[in-house]
Structure 1
């Protein structure tokens, strides 16, 4: 197993199924404010850490043992319900806090004659939930 995002997205490579992601990016930020002072430069003050964000693209392919349409519907339900989950990669959480899906973008790449979705790309944007 490569990792998980809740129970819906289990990233793995096995004899029966391949579900992986690519192009994962993580942004870690901090929060600052500037106090204006007469006659001198503003004084910065550290307020604390900002929320981390993660973006990743997942390839869903029926030839790799994944049902793309079913997976897209399950992820859409997570987004619309505001589900919060830990993102686990290599048996370690990416953050000490769970993440929420703030955006989901689908690309339906291959459809069979009967309309069955055979291959799709799913891009997720996650934000740390504190």
Structure 2
């Protein structure tokens, strides 16, 4: 097992390959700017902002996955708004859970009756803080 997001398991085996690539994590801070007459404004650190993670899931029906079904799983997660744990290896990414902020699908090869053989899904997760 490579890792998981909620119930979606990233893995490579003899019968199934479901992996991601181009993982990027971004973090930022929040600042307030206070105007001062006749001088430059002063900056005040407010606190950290929510982190984001983006990655691409490559799907190929020749490797034991059903691309259209996998794409739909990500759509359902985006529309549900459920916060879930994201793990790579045996380590959580971040201290909080994550929500699916956006999903972008690309259908590659499509056969008769709409069977999607290859495709990819670009995912953006956003940190979800449960406590105040």
TM-score by length of 2: 0.92
The alignment status of 1:41 with 2:40, answered yes or no, reads: yes
| SS of residue paired to 1:110 | coil
Paired with 1:34 and 1:91, the residues of 2 have a C-alpha distance of 41
**Which residue matches 2:6?**
6
Alignment: residue pair count: 129
Mapping of 1:22-41 within 5 angstroms? 22-41=21-40
| SS of residue paired to 1:78 | helix
TM-score by length of 1: 0.93
Structure 2, unmatched stretches of 5+, are none
The alignment status of 1:55 with 2:54, answered yes or no, reads: yes
Structure 1, unmatched stretches of 5+, are none
Paired with 1:93 and 1:40, the residues of 2 have a C-alpha distance of 45
Runs of 4+ in structure 1 over 3 Å off: none
| SS of residue paired to 2:108 | strand
